[in-house]
């Protein structure tokens, strides 16, 4: 309707999230969304876009880019952006708010996957240097912007809603002062960790960020037990434990509209250690990791450890969020058109391991020795060359299952040796353990040192300068060799990792846990 008024962007700005009549811009059109807010399935998060363009938000919440949504929006059209504020028919770029402008600074050593939203993995050399990943090197997985908190974080409120609609409110200050604090040492691992290997190893691209080995980190968390807060809010824990409560799921919501849920059984398991955490490695949570409050669900996929936690509700259903219902599920390698309804949401993690450090030493000539052949005849064995290799990495399993063994192969998986598991959580001579909690929630670091025999290497390319005048001038071992080192772990249920990514490839690239193969070059 060309007769509708034209508004300057400065006027639209007055109709922000605090105004009684919030407006948004889409394309060159202005909409008054006052009557939409109550019916908006995503709740009031839409107010974040009020006073400006909704497009940067719909780039994040891409489910909105459908005719259905455009039709709804059409009902609220009130006018157009004044041509003075348009460039090529759209609001000028500098007029559009950047949803990520308040995001915190990031440590330069983190390996950035995407800057907006922020996704970054822990640098490989820092992965297992420490048992507890330093806070500023802990991997970051954000689906949206990092919410800002009012001046006094103690006043941040968590609402807890029971199935009958009863709501209790707790400020962070209440949580810290009214409930006992607990510590839990736990790794968080994204379901997409090692997705890169799944795509490369199977030759089929899996959808999602191509994480390498660094979408997992380990920390000591401190907070209050979810079950203590649920009990205080009026939930009948004994009924929950007996399986007779109507509530089957605990739904978490974050301030920026992320949401996920866990089964009630895990939430109230006296040995489940589910925390509402405010500290990480002895410091307040960094903003990227959920300041001032996050759920920590040890043993489960990290997608359930909701950051910037603001609301909990008990329900007979899982969280309605897209991250519970439309993502973080696994499928078979044959399933490319998937049925999201029937596949279960990922909760407990399977067993995983990776090589995060690898150093090759000098070649050594192993002393030649006599040997007996099959007929018992003594023969001289030719001198063998071998190269020293030092490997390190992590191993982790979900559900609190301990890692019992880490196997390493220096010849691509033909023969195996055992790595040494570092005693990070074991108690020695009565010394206190550095691990807290009832399950094996933390990762295990492992080390392996061994000699790689020359015949484990393959020639990767022929170099002409090795031969002069038809005769090799070089002494063995030859140049340009490559070997494949492999790791796999086994947990206390004797679950182990699959050999190939082809066997577990899935369209979403979740749970890439096949043997980690690392090709190394020996360019001595």
The minimum distance between CB 224 and Mo ion, in angstroms, equals: 24
Question: Residue 309 to residues 74, 180, 312, 395: CA-CA distances in angstroms?
Answer: 33, 19, 8, 29
Own/partner contacts of 323-327, CB < 8 Å, gap of 24 or more, are 323/143, 323/258, 323/259, 323/260, 324/259, 324/260, 324/261, 327/303, 327/508
- Structure tokens given for 273: 């250690």
In the annotation, is 190 catalytic?
yes
The minimum distance between CB 111 and ligand MTE, in angstroms, equals: 13
Q: Considering CB distances under 5 to 8 angstroms, the limit depending on partner class, which of ligand MTE, Mo ion, none binds residue 331?
A: none
In the annotation, is 64 catalytic?
yes
- Structure tokens given for 89: 């028919």
Q: Considering CB distances under 5 to 8 angstroms, the limit depending on partner class, which of ligand MTE, Mo ion, none binds residue 143?
A: ligand MTE
The minimum distance between CB 135 and Mo ion, in angstroms, equals: 18
Asked if 274 and 226 touch (Cβ cutoff 8 Å), the reply is yes
The minimum distance between CB 434 and ligand MTE, in angstroms, equals: 21
Asked if 85 and 8 touch (Cβ cutoff 8 Å), the reply is yes
The minimum distance between CB 417 and Mo ion, in angstroms, equals: 33
Q: Is 307 in the site for ligand MTE (CB under 6 A)?
A: yes
Select from 437, 431, 399, 402 the least CA-distant residue to 183. Answer: 437
Q: Is 216 in the site for ligand MTE (CB under 6 A)?
A: no
Q: What is the DSSP string of 35-99?
A: TTGGG-TTGGGGGGGTTEESHHHHHHSGGG-SHHHHHHHHTTEEEEE-GGGEETTEE-GGGS--T
In the annotation, is 141 catalytic?
yes
Q: Which of 258, 278, 385, 515 binds ligand MTE (CB under 6 A)?
A: 258
Q: Is 141 in the site for Mo ion (CB under 5 A)?
A: yes
CB burial readout 299-325, b (16+ within 10 A) else e: bbbbbbbbbbbbbbbbbeebbebbbbb
Report the Cα 285 to chain-centroid distance in Å.
17
Rounded CA separation 500/271 (Å): 34
Rounded CA separation 242/500 (Å): 40
Q: Which helix (H) or strand (E) holds 371?
A: strand 370-372
Catalytic residue, candidates 40, 178, 438, 474:
40
In the annotation, is 328 catalytic?
yes
**Sign of the torsion angle spanned by Cα atoms 290, 292, 295, 300:** positive
Q: Considering CB distances under 5 to 8 angstroms, the limit depending on partner class, which of ligand MTE, Mo ion, none binds residue 327?
A: none
Catalytic residue, candidates 15, 118, 141, 300:
141
Q: Is 295 in the site for Mo ion (CB under 5 A)?
A: no
Q: Considering CB distances under 5 to 8 angstroms, the limit depending on partner class, which of Mo ion, ligand MTE, none binds residue 267?
A: none
Rounded CA separation 224/183 (Å): 8
When the beta carbons of 291 and 505 are compared against ligand MTE, the nearer one is 291
Q: Is 133 in the site for ligand MTE (CB under 6 A)?
A: no
Asked if 146 and 288 touch (Cβ cutoff 8 Å), the reply is yes
When the beta carbons of 215 and 408 are compared against ligand MTE, the nearer one is 215
Q: Is 254 in the site for ligand MTE (CB under 6 A)?
A: yes
What is the x/- site pattern for ligand MTE, positions 186-205, by CB under 6 A? --x-x---------------
Q: Considering CB distances under 5 to 8 angstroms, the limit depending on partner class, which of ligand MTE, Mo ion, none binds residue 188?
A: ligand MTE
In the annotation, is 300 catalytic?
no
Q: Considering CB distances under 5 to 8 angstroms, the limit depending on partner class, which of ligand MTE, Mo ion, none binds residue 457?
A: none
Q: Is 303 in the site for Mo ion (CB under 5 A)?
A: yes
Q: Considering CB distances under 5 to 8 angstroms, the limit depending on partner class, which of Mo ion, ligand MTE, none binds residue 81?
A: none
Q: Which 180-219 positions form the footprint of Mo ion (CB under 5 A)?
A: 190
Catalytic residue, candidates 190, 330, 425, 435:
190
Report the Cα 96 to chain-centroid distance in Å.
30
Q: Is 329 in the site for ligand MTE (CB under 6 A)?
A: no
Catalytic residue, candidates 15, 48, 64, 304:
64
Q: Which of 31, 138, 170, 443 binds ligand MTE (CB under 6 A)?
A: 138
Determine the straight-line distance between the first and last CA of the chain, rounded to whole angstroms.
Answer: 74
Q: Is 140 in the site for ligand MTE (CB under 6 A)?
A: yes
What is the x/- site pattern for ligand MTE, positions 270-289, by CB under 6 A? ------------------xx
Which residues sit at the interface with ligand MTE, rule CB under 6 A?
A: 138-144, 188, 190, 254, 256, 258, 288-289, 302-303, 305-308
Which residues sit at the interface with Mo ion, rule CB under 5 A?
A: 141, 190, 303
Residues annotated as catalytic are 40, 64, 141, 190, 328
């Amino acid at each position: 309707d060309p007769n509708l008024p034209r508004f300057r962007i400065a006027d639209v700005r007055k109709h922000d999230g605090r105004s009684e009549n919030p407006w948004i811009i889409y394309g060159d059109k202005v909409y008054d969304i006052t009557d939409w807010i109550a019916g908006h399935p995503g709740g009031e998060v839409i107010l974040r876009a009020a006073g400006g363009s909704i497009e940067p938000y719909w780039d994040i919440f891409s489910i909105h880019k459908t005719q259905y949504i455009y039709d709804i929006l059409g009902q609220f059209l009130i006018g157009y952006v004044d041509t003075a504020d348009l460039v090529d028919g759209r609001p000028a770029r500098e007029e559009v708010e950047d949803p990520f402008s308040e995001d915190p600074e990031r440590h330069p050593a983190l390996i950035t996957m995407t800057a907006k939203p922020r996704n970054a993995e822990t640098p490989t050399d820092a992965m297992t240097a420490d048992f507890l990943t330093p806070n500023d090197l802990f991997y970051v997985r954000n689906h949206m912007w990092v919410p800002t908190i009012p001046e006094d974080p103690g006043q941040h409120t968590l609402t807890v809603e029971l199935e009958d609609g009863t709501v209790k409110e707790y400020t962070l200050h209440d949580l810290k002062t009214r409930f006992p604090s607990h510590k839990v040492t736990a790794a968080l691992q994204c379901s997409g960790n090692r997705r890169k290997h799944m795509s490369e190893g199977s030759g089929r691209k899996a959808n999602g960020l191509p994480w390498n080995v660094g979408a997992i980190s380990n920390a000591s968390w401190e907070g209050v037990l979810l079950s203590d807060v649920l009990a205080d809010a009026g939930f009948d824990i004994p009924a929950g434990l007996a399986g007779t409560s109507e509530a089957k799921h605990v739904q978490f919501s974050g301030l920026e509209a992320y949401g996920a849920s866990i089964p009630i059984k895990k939430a109230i398991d006296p040995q489940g250690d589910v925390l509402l955490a405010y500290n990480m490695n002895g410091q307040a949570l960094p903003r990227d990791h959920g300041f001032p409050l996050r759920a920590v669900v040890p043993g489960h996929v990290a997608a359930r450890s909701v950051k910037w936690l603001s609301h909990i509700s008990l329900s007979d259903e899982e969280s309605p969020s897209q991250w519970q219902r439309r993502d973080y599920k696994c499928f078979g390698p044959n399933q490319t058109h998937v049925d999201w309804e029937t596949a279960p949401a990922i909760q407990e993690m399977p067993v995983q391991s990776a090589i995060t450090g690898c150093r090759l030493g000098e070649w050594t000539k192993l002393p030649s020795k006599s040997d007996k052949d099959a007929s018992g005849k003594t023969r001289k064995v030719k001198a063998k060359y071998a190269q020293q290799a030092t490997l390190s990495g992590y191993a982790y399993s979900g559900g609190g299952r301990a890692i019992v063994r880490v196997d390493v192969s220096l010849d691509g998986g033909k023969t195996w040796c055992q790595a040494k598991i570092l005693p990070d959580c074991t108690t020695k001579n009565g010394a206190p353990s550095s691990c807290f909690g009832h399950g094996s929630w933390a990762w295990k670091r492992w080390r392996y040192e061994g000699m790689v025999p020359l015949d484990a290497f393959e020639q990767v390319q022929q170099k002409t300068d090795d031969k002069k005048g038809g005769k090799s001038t070089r002494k063995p071992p030859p140049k340009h060799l490559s070997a494949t080192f492999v790791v796999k772990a086994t947990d206390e249920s004797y679950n182990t990792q699959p050999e190939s990514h082809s066997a577990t490839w899935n369209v979403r690239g979740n749970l890439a846990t096949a043997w980690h193969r690392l090709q190394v070059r020996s360019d001595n």
